[in-house]
Amino acid sequence: MAAYDTILVEARGAVGLITLNRPKALNALSDQLMTELGRALDGFEADDAIGAIVVTGSDKAFAAGADIKEAAGFTFIGAHKANFITAKWERLAACRKPTIAAVAGYALGGGCELAMMADFILAADTAQFALPEVTIGTIPGAGGTQRLTRLVGKSKAMEMVLSARRMDAVEAERAGLVSRVIPAAELVDEAVRVGERIAALSRPIVMMAKDAVNAAYETTLAEGVKVERRIFYATFATEDQKEGMTAFAEKRHADWKNR
């Protein structure tokens, strides 16, 4: 496994686990951290032994935002030329393998935006979500205004973006921002267990299912249904579809070949 300075990376069975690790800065998302996160994601994507990826932080903070010290000196032209944030930050959203954000403590600003780039969020009962960028004279720049609105609706997203109000884990689950709320002490283990369940299934079928759900998130209903149907038909070209349906008929566990 490659050496990293700002993250911890390990494989737990078929699950890749990435832990953000800048404790003195509450895991503020520096350029170095985002570069290393991208490298770790690239490695797990290329590893056939890995079927799902979990990204987490500390008990106190998933990530308390972007590194403001790095951002403060930018001009408009400088930020534009550097493609600040978007060039590296979208790597998690671009993963083909299933991704889970396991969030405890603060997920503020860029930390909230990063969590929303995962396929789904499991939240500790200590989690707090916010997009407080207006309080420092800017707005969310890594998809926060777009993803939060799609997840929780315009009214709640508008309140959070305009007032910087924090949302706790219970409200986040009720609003649809997170999938489930889990006791903080059990968060990472549960996220890995969910990852293991996903990784134990047919890898190509899981990726196809992910593509279909993303189509619902990103397109109209009519277009999404068309995408789903094309993907559904495509599953019948795989060996795993034949094995899955045969195993069901024979009342046994499927022996996935991932092809």
Positions marked active-site:
66, 110, 113, 133
3-state secondary structure of 101: strand
Q: Which has the closest alpha carbon to 7: 47, 63, 88? A: 63
* Rounded Cα gap, residues 67 and 35, in angstroms: 13
What whole-number distance in Å separates Cα of residue 161 and Cα of residue 167? 11
Distances (CA, A) of 49 to 93, 136, 196: 21, 43, 12
Write the DSSP symbol of residue 139.
-
Are the C-beta atoms of residues 68 and 31 closer than 8 Å to each other?
no
What is the distance between the terminal CA atoms of the chain, rounded to a whole angstrom?
A: 27
Number of helices (H), then strands (E), belonging to the chain: the values are: 12, 10
